[in-house]
Homo-oligomer: A and B are copies of this chain.
Amino acid sequence: MDLYGGRGYEQTTVAEIAKRAGLTERTFFRHFSDKREVLFAGSHELEQAMVAAVEEAPADASPLAAAMAALERIAEFFAERRPHSRRRQAIINANPELQERERNKLASLSVSLAYALRERGVSESRAILAAEMAIAIFKLAFERWLEDAKQRDMLYHVRSALKDLKSVALS
């Protein structure tokens, strides 16, 4: 992140990263499939936590409510990491390739959530749509949370986005 932030993502070479870590270029590629992947290493854990939240949601919760449980579950995770998240996001926002990868991660997350919803007996179409809506809410809430001058927490923004989404869907 120091290097990507300092000289820019494109300008920093894998060789530099490896050297900075006291390792070889080859070793870098054994740990990360991609030059981009370094920035997204932790995303798998987050995904698992969210899936678990869906699985543990009350049996009578609606698909959307169950998907929202996933967002509420991770809301606290972000609380202490605002500075880190801002730095990271600034790097991603500065480079299309990284945004591409980020969208990929969110898409993968959406698929996992939809699968977890299906396991709850939700129909395929409705599971997919509920998951996509949850992701849309997450993206919006995350963006708002990062730039919120009042520093309201993630939960606030998630709920605010959900409210907007419902009003839009009904109109």
Contacts and interface: CB of A to CB of B under 8 A. Distances in A.
Interface of A: 62-65, 96, 99-101, 103-104, 107, 123, 125-126, 128-130, 132-133, 136-137, 139-140, 144, 160-161, 164-171
A159 to B, nearest CB: 13
Given A125-B140, A125-B161, A130 B100 contact: no
Contacts of A100: 100-101, 103-104
A133 B130 contact: no
Q: How many copies of the chain does the oligomer comprise?
A: 2
B168 A130 contact: yes
Contacts of A125: 140, 144, 160-161, 164
The 3 closest A-B pairs by CB, nearest first: A169-B169, A62-B171, A132-B136
A57 to B, nearest CB: 13
Given A63-B171, A132-B133, 20 more contacts: A62-B168, A62-B171, A63-B168, A64-B168, A64-B169, A99-B104, A99-B107, A125-B140, A125-B160, A126-B164, A126-B168, A128-B140, A129-B136, A129-B161, A129-B165, A132-B132, A133-B136, A165-B169, A166-B170, A169-B169
